[in-house]
């Protein structure tokens, strides 16, 4: 016996545990023999992470596809795992050390610190895996991987070494985005440009040999002037043309710097003269290279002014040495002001680069780093999307992908961290680099090179976390080993992710996948044929959820409150192919109510003895009601299938919602009530079996979206004996069921009941009052329909009687129902004036409709150019409207006669 309210908290844990213990999600479980494969690799969440709303949406959508394909009998693998998240994880553990007053990572040393992180991972890492389970994710957990586990690390080494030997990975000294808090380089993608209100300082630089003449430069970064090695002006700029080739005397450091002509200087901007600091600005770096300027690095790794021997060489006064960059800025500005060389200060809005993890201003800094030649790797990855080998859904995202990939910059992959894949490069004392998968191989190579053994030192840096993520679609399947899984499931099918990850991850998987994986004809093979890009989840006001704003909705709280199914259904229903989802808890509550509604419908069916009948054949039902609901069910299942095939998740959810609530509950079950309590045993038996069959179909088609409640119902209604878990039950393929006669007849009854209800409510007929109904002018079919369904019409319209008759009752309330007029003689209750007003309102509306249709149908161009079926449809509508109009006019006349 089902409880009155479904209790997700109690049911979900039990069911998930049973699924897992029963191996329900194992690769290939439940597949038909010889079935095709369907594989999704999960976007690996950070091992430090907690499930947020974005994960909930992302994994709900993946789970829907996985469960859908699994039920269709495919050999399904949903490959799970987590990401070691280099910076994030190292920060978490460092913070923990600080909180506990334990030694810092510097105190304990690299090996001990890494060991410490592994301990942390064993204890508290991967909480998100359990959270994914609470959401209902049906991953093959027996295959869970971690980007730092042995196999994946081997894959990383192999990829790095091969790319190095192919010349696609190289080391270079150039400006990088340096994070002076985390003390590491980061890639362009990890830099966030933030609009900031600042100032533009105008400094006067004295011209050498021309007493009293100055060249004014404008800068947003005064402190970098200590490293200036030139000033650039536009070659055509008349104001400064005579100064080109002359020299300036750089204040404070008394450095003699040239005025160079360079297109980079824009006469319209600032003063038209640009200070050039090649070691601290990306543009200036390029200008410096063009003019062979020295690169003077005035910052240390903390972005403080250097204070070692070089400081003196560069002429940096002692009082500036060791200052933080922002302190140095103040001091430089003060110096210029005092010296009378500060021309003016303007307010200025500029974009400042911030590190996405550290949230400090990033410093362009000159260092040696490792780079991937992304431009070369991007070429086949671009072509694969151009040819459609991999397609984005929605397609508009391809444009974003192309734009980035066609302008791709070298990818800086080295990080000055400890947690991650250490770069497999060893240095000989003379600086010669040996890149091999193991130290032994590096030694051997060095011995060959030098003709004798030499001492080697390994590069201390680790790789960008996204480097290992880029291998995820094949490394998780076993590569570089030639595993059966790799052969079977690569290429994978669909990748589901948010648009913010297209550059970080999707593009890089495309590049690496195509470089390392080849099909049987040795042609590069993409990692997946479809990339589904979903929206970002925001709060109900449309703001990005963030801890600092305090507007974070925790999916686990919602699961506790409303159940995982309700959350999943909400996210699915809102997953239209757009940019973002504004989530409100009211919506979740609404879909929680939906699960309760479904639950109660099943409970009602159970109370009325509806049980599965193995011999039931939906194609052979006889009762009109049953033929109708069988057809509705099949149509809904078909709509859901089509929606899921097209990744229109919201449409699938909408179809199920409407069918369960507005068709099955509102009408079928109500219509079934008189049958259940009636005397016709044959009809009763068929209706019971039909109801049970429909519930079975609902369970199946709703299972991908709401797996828990459907599995529970399926089990309680005897599903498990027949087919095992609902997880593995066959997806409904009931096309062609139902018939038009039944649809027409049930539709007629529904409209009749709705008509009566509407009139009753509008005329304020007390809900408890039973009134007689007369159907006037009814044809034979209408009379028969009334006869066949009299019981339930009486019941649902709250009537005393319902008969066909040509007798008119003066003063009856009336409405038009197809060819007939419905008369409801409600005697004293009728307010004739109100009734007349009601009818005239209807008439007016109808006349407006007819006018519109007339205009269309008398338009010759419309008749000539519109498709025949549209014209025909309009004709029918007009005929119908005219008939209704005549009936209404008649009704008003009757009323006038009565009054």
Partner RNA sequence: GGGCGAUUAGCUCAGUGGUAGAGCGUCUCGUUUACACCGAGAGGGUCGGAGGUUCGAAUCCUUCAUCGCCCACCA
Q: Does 196 bind RNA (CB under 7 A)?
A: no
> Taking the complex as a whole, how short is the minimal distance between the CB of residue 312 and RNA, in angstroms?
27
- Which residues, numbered 398-417, are part of the site for RNA (CB under 7 A)? 399-400, 403-404, 407
Q: Does 43 bind RNA (CB under 7 A)?
A: no
What beta strand segments (E) does 373-466 contain? 391-393, 411-412, 414-415, 425-427, 433-435, 457-458, 462-463
- Which residues, numbered 1-30, are part of the site for RNA (CB under 7 A)? 4-5
Q: Does 885 bind RNA (CB under 7 A)?
A: no
- Which residues, numbered 681-700, are part of the site for RNA (CB under 7 A)? none
The CA distance from 469 to 421, in Å, is 12
User: For residues 740 and 861, which CB has a smaller minimum distance to RNA in the complex?
Assistant: 861
Which residues, including other chains, have CB under 8 Å from residue 617's CB and lie 6 or more apart? none
Q: Does 865 bind RNA (CB under 7 A)?
A: yes
Rounded to 10°, the helix 707-716/681-702 angle is 150
791-817 burial, b for 16+ CB within 10 Å, e for fewer? ebbbebbbbeebebeeebbebbbbbbb
> Taking the complex as a whole, how short is the minimal distance between the CB of residue 608 and RNA, in angstroms?
6
Q: Does 665 bind RNA (CB under 7 A)?
A: yes
The CA distance from 151 to 348, in Å, is 52
- Which residues, numbered 218-257, are part of the site for RNA (CB under 7 A)? 218-221, 232
User: For residues 127 and 350, which CB has a smaller minimum distance to RNA in the complex?
Assistant: 350
Paired strand residues for 195? 351
Q: Does 216 bind RNA (CB under 7 A)?
A: no
- Which residues, numbered 731-770, are part of the site for RNA (CB under 7 A)? 754, 757-758, 761-762, 764, 766-768
- Which residues, numbered 622-661, are part of the site for RNA (CB under 7 A)? 650-651, 654, 657, 661
Q: Does 592 bind RNA (CB under 7 A)?
A: yes
Tell me, what DSSP letter sits at residue 856? H
Record the tokens describing residue 155, joined without a space.
Answer: 């894959």
Q: Does 270 bind RNA (CB under 7 A)?
A: yes
Q: Does 593 bind RNA (CB under 7 A)?
A: yes
Cβ–Cβ < 8 Å for 332, 252:
yes
The CA distance from 601 to 130, in Å, is 32
The CA distance from 178 to 186, in Å, is 6
Considering only 32-40, 461-469, 585-593, 618-626, which stretch makes contact with RNA by CB under 7 A? 585-593
> Taking the complex as a whole, how short is the minimal distance between the CB of residue 99 and RNA, in angstroms?
31
User: For residues 109 and 578, which CB has a smaller minimum distance to RNA in the complex?
Assistant: 578
Please count the residues of this chain forming the interface with RNA, following the rule CB under 7 A: 100
Q: Does 584 bind RNA (CB under 7 A)?
A: yes
User: For residues 404 and 616, which CB has a smaller minimum distance to RNA in the complex?
Assistant: 404
- The 275-314 contact track toward RNA, x by CB under 7 A, reads x-----xxx-------------------------------
Coil vs helix vs strand at 165: helix
Structural element, H or E, at residue 74:
none
Q: Does 264 bind RNA (CB under 7 A)?
A: yes
- Using CB under 7 A, pick the residue from 235, 315, 578, 747 that binds RNA: 578
- The 777-796 contact track toward RNA, x by CB under 7 A, reads --------------------
Give how far Cα 374 sits from Cα of 411, 412, 566, 805, Å: 6, 10, 43, 83
The CA distance from 349 to 73, in Å, is 59
Q: Does 674 bind RNA (CB under 7 A)?
A: yes
Q: Does 119 bind RNA (CB under 7 A)?
A: no
Which residues, including other chains, have CB under 8 Å from residue 544's CB and lie 6 or more apart? 536, 538
- Using CB under 7 A, pick the residue from 309, 586, 827, 858 that binds RNA: 586
Other Cβ atoms less than 10 A from the Cβ of 448: the count is: 9
Q: Does 666 bind RNA (CB under 7 A)?
A: yes
- The 499-518 contact track toward RNA, x by CB under 7 A, reads -x--x---------------
The CA distance from 663 to 632, in Å, is 8
> Taking the complex as a whole, how short is the minimal distance between the CB of residue 395 and RNA, in angstroms?
9
- Which residues, numbered 465-504, are part of the site for RNA (CB under 7 A)? 500, 503
The CA distance from 284 to 229, in Å, is 10
Give the torsion sign (CA, 181, 187, 193, 199).
positive
> Taking the complex as a whole, how short is the minimal distance between the CB of residue 26 and RNA, in angstroms?
34
Chain-centroid distance of CA 503 in Å reads 15
> Taking the complex as a whole, how short is the minimal distance between the CB of residue 207 and RNA, in angstroms?
18
- Using CB under 7 A, pick the residue from 314, 616, 748, 862 that binds RNA: 862
């Amino acid at each position: 016996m089902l409880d009155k309210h479904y209790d997700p908290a109690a049911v979900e844990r039990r069911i998930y545990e049973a699924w897992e213990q029963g191996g329900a999600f194992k690769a290939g479980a439940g597949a038909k023999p010889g079935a095709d494969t369907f594989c999704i690799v999960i976007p690996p969440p950070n091992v430090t992470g907690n499930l947020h709303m974005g994960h909930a949406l992302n994994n709900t959508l993946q789970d829907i596809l996985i469960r859908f394909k699994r039920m269709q009998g495919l050999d399904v693998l949903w490959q799970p795992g987590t990401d070691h998240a280099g910076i994030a994880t190292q920060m978490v553990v460092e913070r923990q050390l600080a909180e506990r007053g334990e030694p810092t990572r510097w105190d304990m040393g690299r090996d001990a610190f890494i060991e410490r992180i592994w301990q942390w991972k064993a204890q508290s890492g991967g909480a998100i895996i359990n959270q994914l389970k609470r959401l209902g994710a049906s991953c093959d957990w027996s295959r869970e991987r971690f980007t730092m586990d042995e196999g994946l690390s081997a894959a990383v080494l192999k990829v790095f070494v091969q790319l190095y030997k192919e010349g696609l990975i190289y080391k270079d000294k150039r400006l990088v985005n340096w994070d002076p808090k985390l003390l590491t380089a980061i890639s362009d993608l990890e830099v966030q440009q933030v609009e900031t209100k600042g100032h533009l300082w105008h400094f006067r630089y004295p011209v050498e040999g021309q007493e009293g003449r100055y060249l004014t430069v404008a800068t947003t970064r005064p402190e970098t002037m200590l490293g200036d090695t030139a000033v650039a002006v536009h070659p055509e700029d008349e104001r400064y043309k005579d100064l080109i080739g002359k020299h300036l005397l750089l204040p404070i450091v008394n450095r003699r710097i040239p005025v160079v002509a360079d297109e980079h200087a824009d006469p319209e901007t600032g003063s038209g003269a640009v200070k050039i600091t090649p070691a601290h600005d990306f543009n200036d770096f390029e200008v410096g290279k063009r003019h062979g300027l020295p690169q003077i690095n005035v910052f240390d790794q903390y972005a403080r002014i250097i204070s070692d021997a070089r400081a003196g060489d560069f002429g940096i006064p002692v009082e500036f040495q060791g200052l933080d960059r922002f302190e140095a800025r103040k001091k430089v500005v003060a110096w210029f002001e005092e010296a009378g060389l500060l021309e003016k200060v303007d307010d200025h809005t500029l974009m400042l680069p911030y590190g996405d993890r550290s949230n400090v201003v990033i410093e362009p800094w000159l260092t040696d780093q490792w780079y991937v030649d992304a431009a070369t790797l991007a070429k086949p990855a671009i072509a694969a999307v151009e040819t459609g080998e991999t397609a984005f859904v929605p397609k508009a995202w391809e444009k974003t992908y192309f734009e980035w990939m066609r302008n791709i910059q070298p990818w800086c992959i080295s990080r000055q961290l400890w947690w991650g894949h250490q770069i497999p490069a060893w240095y000989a004392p003379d600086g010669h680099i040996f890149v091999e998968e193991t130290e032994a191989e590096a030694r051997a190579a060095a011995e060959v090179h030098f003709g004798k053994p030499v001492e080697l030192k390994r590069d201390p840096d680790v790789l960008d976390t996204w480097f290992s993520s880029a291998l995820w679609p094949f490394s998780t399947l076993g590569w570089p080993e030639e595993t059966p899984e790799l052969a079977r499931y690569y290429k994978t099918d669909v990748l589901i992710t948010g648009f913010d990850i297209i550059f970080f991850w999707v593009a890089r998987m495309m590049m690496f996948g195509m470089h390392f994986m080849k099909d049987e004809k040795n042609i590069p093979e993409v990692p997946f044929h479809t990339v589904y890009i979903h929206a970002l989840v925001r709060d109900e006001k449309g703001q990005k959820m963030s801890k600092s704003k305090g507007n974070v909705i925790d999916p686990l709280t919602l699961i506790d409150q409303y159940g995982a199914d309700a959350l999943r259904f909400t996210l699915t229903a809102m997953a239209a192919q757009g940019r973002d989802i504004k989530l409100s808890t009211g919506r979740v509550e609404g879909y929680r109510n939906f699960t309760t509604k479904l639950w109660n419908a099943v409970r009602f069916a159970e109370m009325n003895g509806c049980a599965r009948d193995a011999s039931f054949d939906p194609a052979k039902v006889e009762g009109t009601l049953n033929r109708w609901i069988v057809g509705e069910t099949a149509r809904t299942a078909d709509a859901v299938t089509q929606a899921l095939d097209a990744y229109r998740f919201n449409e699938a959810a909408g179809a199920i919602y409407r069918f369960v609530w507005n068709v099955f509950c509102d009408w079928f079950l109500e219509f079934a009530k008189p049958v259940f309590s009636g005397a016709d045993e044959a009809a009763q038996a068929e209706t019971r079996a039909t109801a049970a069959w429909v519930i079975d179909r609902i369970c199946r088609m709703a299972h991908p979206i709401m797996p828990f409640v459907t599995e529970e119902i399926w089990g309680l209604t005897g599903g498990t004996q027949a087919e095992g878990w609902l997880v593995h039950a066959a997806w409904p393929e009931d096309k062609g069921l139902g018939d038009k006669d039944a649809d027409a007849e049930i539709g007629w009854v529904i409209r009749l009941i709705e008509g009566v209800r509407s009139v009753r409510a509008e005329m304020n007929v007390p809900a408890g009052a039973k009134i007689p109904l007369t159907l006037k002018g009814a044809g034979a079919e209408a009379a028969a329909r009334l006869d066949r369904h009299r019981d339930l019409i009486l019941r649902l319209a709250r009537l005393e009687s319902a008969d066909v008759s040509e007798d008119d009752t003066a003063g009856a309330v009336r409405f038009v129902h197809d060819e007939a007029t419905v008369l409801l003689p409600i005697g004293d209750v009728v307010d004739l004036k109100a009734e007349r007003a009601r009818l005239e309102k209807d008439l007016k509306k109808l006349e407006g409709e007819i006018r519109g249709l007339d205009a269309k149908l008398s338009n010759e161009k419309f008749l000539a150019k519109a498709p025949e079926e549209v014209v025909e449809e309009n004709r029918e509508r007009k005929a119908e409207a005219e008939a209704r109009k005549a009936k209404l006019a008649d009704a008003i006349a009757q009323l006038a006669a009565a009054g």
